[in-house]
Amino acid sequence: MSIEYIYIISSYIGSFLFLLGIYISAFFHHLFHKIIGKKIIIHDLESFPYSQKKAYPENKLIITDDLSYYANLLGLKLDTFEIITEDGFYITLNHLYKSTGEDTKDKYPILLLHGLMQSSASFLTSGTKSIAYHLIMNNYDVWLGNNRCGFNPKHVKYNSNNYQMWNWDLIDMSKYDLPSLIDYVMLNNNYKTLSIMSHSQSTSQCVLLFANDFRDNNNNDKYNKIIDKCVLFAPAIYGGSLLNEKLFIKFIRLIPDWLYKLFFGINSFMPILVQLRNLTYKLKGFGFSSYIVFNYLFDWDDQLWDDEIRTIHFLFSPVYVSNKLMKWWLRDKNGFGNGKSIINRDGYWFNENCPKLLLIIGGNDKLVNGDLFINRLKYNEPNMLDNWQFIKINEYSHLDVLWADNIIDKIGDKLLNFLKS
């Protein structure tokens, strides 16, 4: 039996045990907080008009993994395109538009990009209160991008049992996936530039691209000129304190390499997660169990969300990612650490062609450290002078910047002003 098969079997068992440990802990964590009745802060959402709206006009929502169903409920259409990256991965891109048969080519294009283990749904699942819907209603041409692998890993040469299918990390996603998505949008729109809205991991992809960390001479600054503006939601440029606090992160971070391989394998990171999601997403307890795990793992909670759609948010994740990517984030000297940046070199990162940046920072976000990025832009980036701004919302955490019920009340107009500036 070859070593790969040993890893496949051991990582199935390892991932299963890891997950079981997390589920049991999450359940008791939830029970404990229910018993001691720990309600921390109750936010008053009543004064925000958007949070009083219904997310979807329909009263009885169907639970489905078909994102176009939710788009249709909003009176929108969602098309899906498959594109191939320069290194041979198939990635999918959604185009969202009003059903009225208008020509979107003459509207300004915006590409929305999701975070780690999420998918293109994340900017849309809040329905009438989502960023994607807000942009459509304000006459932008909206594209929702996915990274490589997603729910259906596909490569021109390799299949999912081949290590080459998983031999990539954030650098490749930044170097190949992001440019392919941009090129596709530019081919299908008459404007010569576009703007990007990114969340969490995709902010890192963008910053690596802007900083030209893998620039080759032919492509020198090409994308900095095509991208006009970029909004970074919960920018994952410097790591936050959560990375040092959470046991499961410490486990992934600190075990020796041989044990990591036995536990998680060498190919995709915990594929059991996607299989479990596929098997259970229609069941009643799916939203609840996803939520308690997420609450236990990251301390994020749903106080600022619309409870009616909590399950919908969880339907479109997790997706397949590589172990190499997870290791890049948590175990590599180039990746993330508390207070450490994703770029590891002296000197400034951005030149004068860097797109204009708007940072949306949650004051309660402990996964990333937005203040350090602000300080960097203020003091250490001489080319950025007036080329950036930020909005900080104190009560928001990492996902509230997308899913809080009052996000459009808080930043809807500011986003539009930024795009027009």
The residues annotated with a catalytic role in the active site are 200, 365, 398
Q: How far is CA 31 from the centre of its chain?
A: 29
Nearer to ligand NAG, 227 or 319 (CB): 319
DSSP letters, 226-276, are HEEEEEEES--SBB-THHHH-HHHHHHHHS-HHHHHHHH-SSBS-THHHHH
Shortest Å distance, C-beta 226 to ligand NAG: 31
Q: How far is the CB of 66 from ligand NAG (least distance, A)?
A: 8
Q: Which is nearer to ligand NAG, 72 or 295 (CB)?
A: 72
- Tell me the closest approach of the beta carbon of residue 273 to ligand NAG, in angstroms: 10
Residue closer to ligand NAG, measured from CB, 65 or 307: 65
Nearest approach, Cβ of residue 3 and ligand NAG (Å): 24
In terms of CB distance, is 316 or 403 closer to ligand NAG? 316
The pair phi, psi for residue 119, each rounded to 5°, is -140, -175
**Residue written as tokens 């930020």?**
390
Which residues have CB under 8 Å from 160's CB, separation 6+?
A: 153, 267, 268
Reference 407, options 127, 70, 98, 59; nearest CA is 127
Cα–Cα distance measured from residue 38 to residue 32, given in angstroms and rounded to the nearest whole number: 9
Distance of CA 346 to the CA centre of its chain: 28
Distance of alpha carbon 163 from alpha carbon 364, whole angstroms: 38
Which DSSP helix (H) or strand (E) runs through 4? helix 3-35
In 144-229, alpha helices (H)? 170-172, 178-187, 201-210, 222-226
Strand partners, 392: 361
Whole-angstrom Cα distance, residue 63 to residue 315?
A: 8
> How many Å apart are CA 155 and CA 302, to the nearest integer?
37
Q: How far is the CB of 320 from ligand NAG (least distance, A)?
A: 9
3-state DSSP call for residue 158?
A: coil
Residue 389 neighbours by CB distance under 10 Å: 14
CA 93 – CA 77 distance, rounded (Å): 14
* Binding stretches for ligand NAG (CB under 6 A): 65, 151-152, 274-275, 278
Q: At its nearest, how many Å lie between ligand NAG and the CB of residue 65?
A: 4
Q: Are 136 and 408 in contact (CB under 8 A)?
A: no
What does each C-alpha distance from 178 to 100, 190, 269 come to in angstroms? 29, 19, 21
Q: Considering the complex, state which of residue 150 and residue 412 has its C-beta at the smaller distance from ligand NAG.
A: 150
Of 275 and 344, the one with the shorter C-beta distance to ligand NAG is: 275
For the CB of residue 234, give the shortest distance to ligand NAG in the complex, in Å. 25
Q: How far apart (Å, rounded) are the C-alpha atoms in residues 215 and 228?
A: 19
Rounded to a whole number of angstroms, the minimum distance from the CB of residue 271 to ligand NAG is 8
Contact 291, 314 (CB under 8 A): yes
Question: In this complex, which beta carbon is closest to ligand NAG, that of residue 134 or of residue 155?
Answer: 155
Residue closer to ligand NAG by CB (options 27, 69) is 69
